[in-house]
Amino acid sequence: MMADVAQVETLRHFRIPGLVADNKWSVGFDPVTEADRAAELAMRKVLAEMRPDDAILGEEFGYSEGTSGLTWVLDPIDGTRGYISGSPTWGVLISVRDETGPFFGMICQPYIGERFIGGLGGAWMDGPHGRLDLTTRAARPLSEATLLTTFPAIGTPVEKSAFDNVKKQVQLTRYGMDCYGYALLAAGQVDLVIEAGLQAYDVQAPIAVVQAAGGVVTDWRGNPAHEGGRMLAAANAEIHAAALEILQQAGE
């Protein structure tokens, strides 16, 4: 139901002339739109009615306390830069976590009509081809791998250097994916997603979906990445280990 209401609010404004984007940063550009706020408020309303004891962490309206031990983590539009550019690589991120981390997540792309779902024993997608199981790619050498990220100038100069060292080893690198890159990883289309500078609401749904599909997700030291920061998502343990060995050379 949360995905349904978020779909209504995000599509209401997508590719519609006159959409205004406010800048959340004093230096640089981090846009937020009426659609971001409306979608999160709509999802919060659903949770207030159906799960009133659960906590909520949302990108636009912060943290709301709960008593159940569960927290819903919401990113109403992951990839607002893509959204305001008319690109269909943005998505709605919904996940739920306990004290151990996210155990169920959904990556929704309303314009294409795709939902990638993972956790509680299953991983599947619904889209134009119907319902399909999600399974990540089998192991292959880095030299045959496809790598995705959102920005070419990833993170700090040190982080970009580490990313570039992986990039030099792979067959193909593509940019501008936002959360859709993790969906493609879970669907077995690519091998790696490497990013930095992320927040908890950026990563928790992708972690749940990718892991449920058979992938491996950690930070650049091999530790849990639940709170964001540096993220390495891989199709399998073998290619994860190969990329991790390179990324571990990055400084703190």
Enter the pTM of the model: 0.96
How many residues can be counted in the chain?
252
User: Is 59 annotated as belonging to a binding site?
Assistant: yes
Domains and CATH numbers, the chain: 2-133 (3.30.540.10), 142-247 (3.40.190.80)
**Per-residue pLDDT tens digits for 46-62:** 999 999 999 999 999 99
Instruction: Name the phi and psi angles at 63, rounded to 5.
Output: -105, 135
pLDDT computed for residue 23 by the predictor: 85
User: Is 98 annotated as belonging to a binding site?
Assistant: no
Using DSSP, state whether 57 is helix, strand or coil. Answer: strand
User: Is 77 annotated as belonging to a binding site?
Assistant: yes
Using DSSP, state whether 217 is helix, strand or coil. Answer: strand
pLDDT computed for residue 70 by the predictor: 98
Averaged pLDDT, 152-170: 95
From CA 208, how far away is CA 188, in angstroms rounded?
15
User: Is 191 annotated as belonging to a binding site?
Assistant: no
Asked if the model's pLDDT at residue 252 lies above 70, the reply is no
